[in-house]
């Protein structure tokens, strides 16, 4: 989600001398007063903080001396700007508007003129909802987590005016499952913008770099697996090779068996030869 960032700042806090016994608790109390309020100095709403006392407190020379504490703090800021994408939970749906809560404290409202024509208002089982005309499973109702586009923000009330006109806004659950279809619908607009101006690739963030390195790891691993698979035969190939070898061996054995007579045929041939010799010998004796 856009609009969240961490800022490293140097702060100066003035404490009453009566709090000198426990400076850390006094600083915590002062910083807690900044939470969930828009701060013009930081240009955002302070959501959380952590700090470290940079210098031992000094007493300011004045009629009413105060402790002068210098801090190094890290602040988590919520600073939504126009055209940023935010995520929130729908708390109420009406025919003329959709009401959303963001991060549990900031409210957002989407009027009917900022809801694209794809969505149609319906009442089903006593519940108000918006259903997409082209994708019946794309439904927005109370309890749905949606992605919306920021139009403006009231710094005093922390109320955000939002829009669902872009195609990549709506139910987060549905968008995550159909991200390819959404990218295809936005493809023509991106190509037109690409022809008009030069596209610039943003520097990937830390999480993006880790994701890219993880993807590269799996690609190299699968490539290495494919190479090893091409070099070494699999079990099925080995078994088929063994079966082919046995078939060839049995075929060769049958051919040799056809060429050479069996033992029974040899014995019968020997007995016939001996009978012929004995008959020939008898005829000589009679003569």
SS3 117: coil
The answer to whether the beta carbons of residues 37 and 45 sit under 8 Å apart is yes
Q: Give me the count of residues in the chain.
A: 287
118 burial (CB, 10 Å; 0-12 / 13-18 / 19+) is middle
Contact in structure between 96 and 111 (CB atoms under 8 Å): yes
- In the Cβ-directed half-sphere of 246, how many Cα atoms lie within 13 Å? 6
> pLDDT per residue over 259-276, tens digit each?
544 444 544 555 555 556
Q: According to the CATH classification, is domain 85-200 in 2.40.50.140?
A: yes
From residue 263, alpha-carbon distances to 180, 196, 253, 275 in Å are 77, 94, 16, 19
Residue 146 has a pLDDT of 96
pTM recorded for the entire structure? 0.58
Q: From CA 263, how far away is CA 162, in angstroms rounded? A: 99
Find out whether 95 and 62 touch, Cβ atoms under 8 Å: no
Burial class (CB in 10 A: 0-12, 13-18, 19+), 67: buried
Q: Three-class SS of residue 201?
A: coil
pLDDT tens per residue across span 100-151: 999 999 999 999 999 999 999 999 999 999 999 999 999 999 999 999 999 9
CB 9 within 8 A of CB 44: no
Dig out the tokens for 282 from the structure. 């008898």
Residue 12: pLDDT band with limits 50, 70, 90: confident
Is pLDDT at 207 greater than 50 in this prediction?
no
At residue 254's C-alpha, the angle toward residues 253 and 258, to 5°, is 120
Is the pLDDT at 230 greater than 70? The verdict is: no
What Å distances lie between residue 125 and 122, 128, 146, CA to CA?
10, 9, 22
pLDDT at 221 over 80: no
Backbone angles phi, psi at 73, to 5 degrees: -120, 155
In the block, which residue shows the tokens 């927005």? 140
Domain ranges of the chain: 4-79+205-284, 85-200
Tokens of 53: 């006392």
Average pLDDT of the residues of the chain: 74
Place of tokens 């990218």: 183
Q: pLDDT band for 279, please (50, 70, 90 cuts).
A: low
Task: Look at residue 218 in the predicted model and tell me its pLDDT.
Answer: 40
User: Given this model, what pLDDT does residue 60 score?
Assistant: 63
* Cα–Cα nearest to 8, from 55, 58, 54: 54
């Amino acid at each position: 989600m856009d609009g969240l960032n961490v800022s490293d700042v140097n702060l100066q806090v003035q404490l009453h001398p009566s709090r000198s016994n426990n400076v850390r608790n006094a600083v915590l109390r002062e910083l807690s007063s900044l939470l969930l309020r828009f701060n013009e100095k930081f240009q955002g709403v302070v959501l959380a903080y952590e700090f470290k006392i940079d210098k031992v407190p000094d007493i300011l020379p004045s009629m009413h001396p105060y402790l002068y504490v210098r801090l190094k703090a890290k602040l988590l800021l919520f600073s939504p700007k126009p055209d940023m994408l935010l995520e929130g939970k729908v708390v109420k749906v009406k025919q003329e508007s959709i009401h959303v809560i963001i991060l549990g404290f900031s409210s957002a409202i989407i009027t009917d003129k900022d809801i694209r024509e794809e969505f149609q208002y319906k009442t089903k089982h006593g519940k108000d909802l918006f259903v997409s005309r082209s994708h019946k499973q794309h439904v927005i109702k109370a309890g749905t987590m949606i992605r919306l586009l920021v139009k403006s923000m009231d710094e005093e009330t922390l109320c955000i005016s939002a829009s669902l006109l872009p195609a990549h806004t709506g139910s987060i659950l549905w968008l995550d499952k159909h991200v390819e279809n959404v990218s295809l619908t936005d493809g023509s607009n991106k190509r037109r913008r690409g022809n008009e101006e030069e596209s610039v690739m943003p520097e990937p963030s830390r999480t993006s770099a880790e994701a890219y390195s993880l993807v590269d790891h799996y690609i190299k691993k699968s490539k290495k697996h494919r190479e090893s698979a091409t070099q070494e035969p699999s079990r099925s190939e080995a078994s088929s090779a063994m079966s082919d070898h046995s078939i060839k061996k049995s075929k060769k054995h049958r051919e040799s068996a056809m060429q050479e007579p069996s033992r029974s045929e040899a014995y019968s041939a020997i007995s016939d030869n001996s009978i012929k010799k004995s008959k020939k010998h008898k005829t000589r004796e009679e003569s």
